[in-house]
C-alpha cells in the first residue's frame, strides 16, 4: 500500500507553473527523497499534501484513501523553520506544540530523548545551536508518534556535525519503520539517506524509483567505426550493457559500474567484421548524471 500517491498534480502561481503533471507513489517504510534544484517545486508539492496549498489539477491519496484531516494527523511535518518561543525552554516549547497539535503531551520525554536533547530540555530555545533548533523541530513533529514524517530540507543551513546528526536521526526513524518524505536539493544527501527518489526539474518529474536504480552511477564505453550502421547492427547483438545511445557519431554503451570489459567488446566487434576506430571507457559520476537530468 502506498503511503502517498500523487496523480497528475498541477500547481500554478499566476503564470508560474510550479508543478506540471507530477505523478508518483511513496511506498510504505521508505525514505522518499524529493530531489531538485531550488525552484523546482518541492515545497509546493509538500504544501499541497499538507493542505496548505490547493492544486490547480490532479489528485492524491494518503494511506490509499482520499485525504482528510484524520489522515493528516498521522503525519508529522515541518515545512518551514518552525516558530518556537525564544525565551522559553525546549520542554515548554514542546508542551505548547503538543497543545496546538492536540497530540503527544505525554510523549515529550520520549521525543526529547530521540533527538538527544534531554540534557538541554530546560535551556532556553535562544541558547540552542542551529542544529539543536532543527532537532527540536523534528522532536515536535514526532510528538504523538506519527507513522509518516514530512520534512522540507531538514539539514538546510546546518554545519557538518548538525547535518550528520539529522541524517543519523532520519536513518534511525526509518529503522523504526517510519515512512519519511523529505525534500532536498542535495544529491549527496538523497543518495546517503533515501531509499527512493523523485527528481523534479522546473515542476516536471524527470525520474523516480529506487535510489540504487535511479542514482546508480554508470560506466560508459564509447565506440566508433567507419561504418556506423554496421557497428550499430553488431552491437545490437551483443549482451551485457544496460542501454545504448548515439552521440556525436559515436555509440555509447552504458554499463553498471565495474561491469565493463573493453577487450571483450573489441574482440566481439572484430569477430563480426568491425574494426573499431575509437574505443574509450568513461566513468560517469553521479553528479554528471544529476546534472544531465536537471539541466
Ligand atoms: P523548491 O521548494 O523546489 O525550491 P518551490 O515549490 O518553492 O520550489 O517553488 C517552485 C516555483 O514556484 C518557483 O519558481 C517559485 O518561484 C514559485 N513560487 C513558489 N511559491 C510561490 C508563491 N507563493 N507565489 C509565486 N510563486 C511562487
Ligand atoms: Mg523549498
Under 8 Å between Cβ of 245 and 251 = yes
pLDDT-wise least confident of 4-8, 82-86, 150-154, 251-255:
82-86
Burial 244-263 (b: 16+ CB within 10 A, else e): eeeeeebbbbbbeeeebeee
pLDDT score recorded for residue 188: 87
Please indicate whether residue 15, judged by its CB atom, sits closer than 6 Å to ligand 1: no
Please indicate whether residue 247, judged by its CB atom, sits closer than 6 Å to ligand 1: no
Average pLDDT, the chain: 92
State which ligand 1 atom lies nearest to the alpha carbon of 14. Answer: 25
Please indicate whether residue 40, judged by its CB atom, sits closer than 6 Å to ligand 1: yes
Q: How far is the CA of 181 from the centre of ligand 1 (A)?
A: 19
Pairing between strand 31-35 and 196-201?
parallel
More confident residue, 294 or 53: 53
| 101-104 contacts, C-beta under 8 A, 24 or more apart | 101/143, 101/144, 103/73, 103/143, 103/144, 104/142, 104/143, 104/144, 104/145
pLDDT score recorded for residue 81: 57
Burial 47-56 (b: 16+ CB within 10 A, else e): bbbeeebebe
Residue 286 scores a pLDDT above 80: no
**Atom 22 of ligand 1: nearest residue by CA position:** 13
Please indicate whether residue 38, judged by its CB atom, sits closer than 6 Å to ligand 1: yes
Phi and psi, residue 68, nearest 5°: -145, 180
For 110-139, what is each residue's pLDDT tens digit?
999 999 999 999 999 999 998 899 899 999
Instruction: Name the grid cell of 164.
Output: 550528520
pLDDT-wise least confident of 59-68, 89-98, 208-217:
208-217
Instruction: Name the grid cell of 209.
Output: 524509483
Under 8 Å between Cβ of 290 and 217 = no
What value does the mean pLDDT take over residues 4-31? 97
pLDDT score recorded for residue 163: 92
Confidence band, pLDDT 50/70/90 cuts, at residue 258: confident
Q: How far apart are CA 189 and CA 162, in angstroms?
A: 13
Q: How far is the CA of 13 from the centre of ligand 1 (A)?
A: 8
Please indicate whether residue 41, judged by its CB atom, sits closer than 6 Å to ligand 1: yes
Q: Which of 10, 18, 185 to mutate to test the pocket of ligand 1 (most atoms within 8 A of CB)?
A: 18
**Atom 23 of ligand 1: nearest residue by CA position:** 13
What value does the mean pLDDT take over residues 35-60? 95
Please indicate whether residue 25, judged by its CB atom, sits closer than 6 Å to ligand 1: no
What value does the mean pLDDT take over residues 212-221? 81
pLDDT score recorded for residue 1: 85
pLDDT score recorded for residue 69: 87
Confidence band, pLDDT 50/70/90 cuts, at residue 82: low
Which residues are registered as beta bridge partners of 181? 32, 150
What value does the mean pLDDT take over residues 223-245? 94
More confident residue, 188 or 5: 5
Confidence band, pLDDT 50/70/90 cuts, at residue 31: very high
pLDDT score recorded for residue 215: 78
Residue 30 scores a pLDDT above 80: yes
Confidence band, pLDDT 50/70/90 cuts, at residue 80: low
State which ligand 1 atom lies nearest to the alpha carbon of 40. Answer: 3
Residue 295 scores a pLDDT above 80: no
More confident residue, 85 or 289: 85
Q: How far apart are CA 277 and CA 285, in angstroms?
A: 25
What are the structural domains of the chain?
2-214 (3.40.50.300), 217-294 (3.30.70.100)
Which residues are registered as beta bridge partners of 205? 200
- Residues around ion ligand 2, judged by CB within 5 A, are 42-43
Which residues are registered as beta bridge partners of 25? 5
Q: How far apart are CA 70 and CA 88, in angstroms?
A: 30
State which ligand 1 atom lies nearest to the alpha carbon of 36. Answer: 3
Q: Which of 33, 39, 153 to mutate to test the pocket of ligand 1 (most atoms within 8 A of CB)?
A: 39
Phi and psi, residue 121, nearest 5°: -65, -25
What value does the mean pLDDT take over residues 31-40? 95
Confidence band, pLDDT 50/70/90 cuts, at residue 73: confident
DSSP assignment letter at 92? H
pLDDT score recorded for residue 212: 82
Phi and psi, residue 210, nearest 5°: -65, 140
Q: H or E element: which one contains 20?
A: strand 16-27
Query: Considering the chain, what percentage of its residues have pLDDT values greater than 90?
Result: 74
Please indicate whether residue 55, judged by its CB atom, sits closer than 6 Å to ligand 1: no
Which residues are registered as beta bridge partners of 250? 247
Angle between helices 90-101 and 130-142 (to 10 degrees): 30
Q: How far is the CA of 149 from the centre of ligand 2 (A)?
A: 16
Please indicate whether residue 42, judged by its CB atom, sits closer than 6 Å to ligand 1: yes
Residue 150 scores a pLDDT above 70: yes
Confidence band, pLDDT 50/70/90 cuts, at residue 147: very high
Q: Which of 9, 10, 14, 16 to mutate to test the pocket of ligand 1 (most atoms within 8 A of CB)?
A: 16
Under 8 Å between Cβ of 150 and 74 = no
Amino acid at each position: 500500500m502506498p503511503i502517498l500517491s500523487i496523480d497528475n498534480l498541477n500547481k500554478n502561481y499566476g503564470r508560474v507553473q510550479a508543478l506540471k503533471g507530477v505523478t508518483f507513489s511513496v511506498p510504505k517504510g521508505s525514505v522518499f527523497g524529493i530531489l531538485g534544484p531550488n525552484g523546482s517545486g518541492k515545497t509546493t508539492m509538500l504544501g499541497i499534501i499538507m493542505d496548505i496549498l490547493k492544486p490547480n489539477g490532479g489528485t492524491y491519496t494518503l494511506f490509499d484513501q482520499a485525504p482528510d484531516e484524520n489522515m493528516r494527523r498521522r503525519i508529522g511535518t515541518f515545512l518551514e523553520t518552525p516558530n518556537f518561543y525564544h525565551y522559553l525552554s525546549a520542554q515548554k516549547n514542546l508542551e505548547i506544540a503538543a497543545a496546538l497539535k492536540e497530540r503527544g503531551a505525554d510523549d515529550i520525554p520520549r521525543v526529547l530523548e530521540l533527538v538527544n536533547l534531554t540534557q538541554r530540555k530546560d535551556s532556553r530555545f535562544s541558547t540552542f545551536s542551529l542544529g539543536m533548533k532543527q532537532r527540536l523541530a523534528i522532536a515536535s513533529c514526532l510528538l504523538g508518534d506519527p507513522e509518516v514524517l514530512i520534512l522540507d530540507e531538514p539539514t538546510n543551513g546546518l554545519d557538518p556535525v548538525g547535518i550528520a546528526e539529522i541524517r543519523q536521526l532520519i536513518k534511525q526513524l526509518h529503522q523504526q519503520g517510519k515512512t519519511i518524505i523529505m525534500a532536498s536539493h542535495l544529491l549527496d544527501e538523497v543518495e546517503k539517506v533515501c531509499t527512493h527518489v523523485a527528481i523534479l526539474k522546473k515542476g516536471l518529474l524527470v525520474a523516480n524509483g529506487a535510489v540504487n536504480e535511479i542514482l546508480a552511477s554508470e560506466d560508459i564505453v564509447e565506440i566508433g567505426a567507419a561504418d556506423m550502421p554496421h557497428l550499430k547492427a553488431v552491437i545490437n547483438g551483443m549482451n551485457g550493457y544496460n542501454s545504448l545511445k548515439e552521440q556525436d557519431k559515436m555509440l555509447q554503451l552504458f554499463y553498471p559500474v565495474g561491469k565493463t570489459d573493453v577487450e571483450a567488446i573489441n574482440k566481439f566487434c572484430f569477430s563480426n567484421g568491425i574494426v573499431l576506430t575509437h574505443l574509450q571507457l568513461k566513468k560517469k559520476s553521479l553528479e554528471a548524471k544529476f546534472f544531465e537530468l536537471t539541466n
